[in-house]
Amino acid sequence: MIKKCLFPAAGYGTRFLPATKAMPKEMLPVVNKPLIQYGVEEALDAGLTEISIVTGRGKRALEDHFDISYELENQIKGTDKEKYLVGIRKLLDECSFSYTRQTEMKGLGHAILTGRPLIGDEPFAVVLADDLCVNLEGDGVLTQMVKLYEQYRCTIVAIQEVDPQETNKYGVISGELIADDLYRVRNMVEKPAPEDAPSNLAIIGRYILTPDIFELIKQTEPGKGGEIQITDALMKQAKNGCVIAYKFKGQRFDCGGAEGYIEATNFCFENFYKTGKAY
């Protein structure tokens, strides 16, 4: 059973400056809820109740968000505004939160390694909260992945087909189709130019990782952009046939940039806020 979910949230969020100069990207609101809350809700839906967050300088608002604000609660007690806090209270009641700080932003792989003391020696999920994933038709994306993990017992990465001209924004995989929407990964390239991409199947911000990944990250030299890339460590697992890529059911919005963020905002406004499911 997977219980832990790691949220690497120490990045600078440069694509969203100046909004992210003093505020964590993960706290950007999509309608009325910060991005990270959508991610934690998805994790809880999947049965992951031990939430670990890798933070960094200027990210203290994240810890305050997942805490009780006594003054505020006292202020709205007995009013109809209490409903606004029902969702976050549920997360506080049902999940535990632990934090560690990445002191140098050396990439996603390094951020995941920084979370090792919080995870220990067990499989765990990773959520990049700026990828907002929703599935109106059924199980959330993490729930779908946890079910697959229970079947295959190896690393699972979520993928989606992207415009071939945009492969240079993603880790891109190729492999053999082993079932509907499932590939056994054979090759993986970080941010390839369109002409070098092995496919247009791009990894997005949902992973289930087996704990051997930590040693593999440790052995990984800095790659593209001087950062320790998770893709390089995953490639080592893939060589042993231990990485499955899953074309998930649902939609993903890249909220790390303005376009995806606006799309997500419109989507959530229509489907959650207007329908009274936003708290």
What are the residues binding ligand UTP (CB under 6 A)?
Answer: 8-16, 25, 54, 102, 105-108, 110-111, 128, 130, 256
| Residue closer to ligand UTP, measured from CB, 130 or 232 | 130
CB-based contact 66:92 (threshold 8 Å): yes
Helices (H) then strands (E): counts for the chain: 10, 13
CB-based contact 146:47 (threshold 8 Å): yes
Please name which of 172, 143, 156, 148 lies closest in space to residue 208, comparing C-alpha atoms: 156
Return the structure tokens found at 161.
């087909």
Single-letter code of the amino acid located at 221: E
CB-based contact 158:145 (threshold 8 Å): yes
Distance separating alpha carbons of residues 140 and 129, to the nearest angstrom: 14
Minimum distance between the CB of residue 21 and ligand UTP, rounded to whole angstroms?
12
Please name which of 160, 149, 158, 131 lies closest in space to residue 210, comparing C-alpha atoms: 149
| Residue closer to ligand UTP, measured from CB, 54 or 125 | 54
Minimum distance between the CB of residue 236 and ligand UTP, rounded to whole angstroms?
20
Minimum distance between the CB of residue 49 and ligand UTP, rounded to whole angstroms?
21
Minimum distance between the CB of residue 254 and ligand UTP, rounded to whole angstroms?
9
| Residue closer to ligand UTP, measured from CB, 16 or 183 | 16
Minimum distance between the CB of residue 126 and ligand UTP, rounded to whole angstroms?
9
CA end-to-end distance (rounded Å), the chain = 28
| Residue closer to ligand UTP, measured from CB, 24 or 123 | 24
| Residue closer to ligand UTP, measured from CB, 62 or 182 | 62
Distance separating alpha carbons of residues 116 and 246, to the nearest angstrom: 25
| Residue closer to ligand UTP, measured from CB, 10 or 182 | 10
The residue of the chain with the least Cβ separation from ligand UTP equals: 11
| Residue closer to ligand UTP, measured from CB, 178 or 258 | 258
Classify residue 264 as left (phi > 0), alpha (psi -120 to 50) or beta: alpha
The beta strands (E) that lie in the chain are given as: 4-8, 29-30, 33-34, 50-55, 96-101, 124-127, 131-134, 155-161, 171-179, 182-190, 201-209, 243-247, 251-254
Beta-bridged to residue 132, according to DSSP, are 253
**For residue 117, is the peptide bond before it cis, meaning its omega torsion is within 30 degrees of 0?**
no
| Residue closer to ligand UTP, measured from CB, 182 or 217 | 217
Minimum distance between the CB of residue 205 and ligand UTP, rounded to whole angstroms?
7
Minimum distance between the CB of residue 256 and ligand UTP, rounded to whole angstroms?
5
Minimum distance between the CB of residue 15 and ligand UTP, rounded to whole angstroms?
3
